[in-house]
Structure 1
Amino acid sequence: MADSPAHDDLVLPDYDHIPLGTLPSRLSPLDEAGVSGLLAYEQAHGNRLPVVQVLENRLEALRSGTEPSGSLPDELPEVTRSQQGSKVSPATTGPKINPPSQGDPTNPAQPRQ
Structure 2
Amino acid sequence: MTFEVISVELSDGEGPSPATRELPIVDYNHLPKLAIEGFSHDLAKEEVETVLRYERAHRSRTPVIRVLTARLRRLRDGRHPDGAPVS
Q: Which protein shows a greater Rg?
A: 1
Q: Is the aligned partner of 1:40 residue 2:53? A: yes
Deviations, residues 5-42 of structure 1 (Å, cap 9, x unaligned): 11111111111111212222111110000000000001
Offset at residue 45 of structure 1 (A): 0.4
- Name the Cα RMSD after superposition: 1.4
Q: Equivalents in 2 of 1:22, 1:50: separation in Å?
A: 12
Identity %: 38
Deviations, residues 65-86 of structure 1 (Å, cap 9, x unaligned): 1247xxxxxxxxxxxxxxxxxx
Matching of residues 1-113 of structure 1 within 5 Å:
1-67=14-80
The runs of 4+ residues in structure 1 deviating greater than 4 Å are: none
Q: Equivalents in 1 of 2:64, 2:78: separation in Å?
A: 22
Q: Matched residue of 1:12: which SS?
A: coil
TM-score, structure 2 normalization = 0.71
TM-score, structure 1 normalization = 0.56
Q: What are structure 2's unaligned runs of at least 5 residues?
A: 1-13, 82-87
Number of equivalences? 68
Q: What are structure 1's unaligned runs of at least 5 residues?
A: 69-113
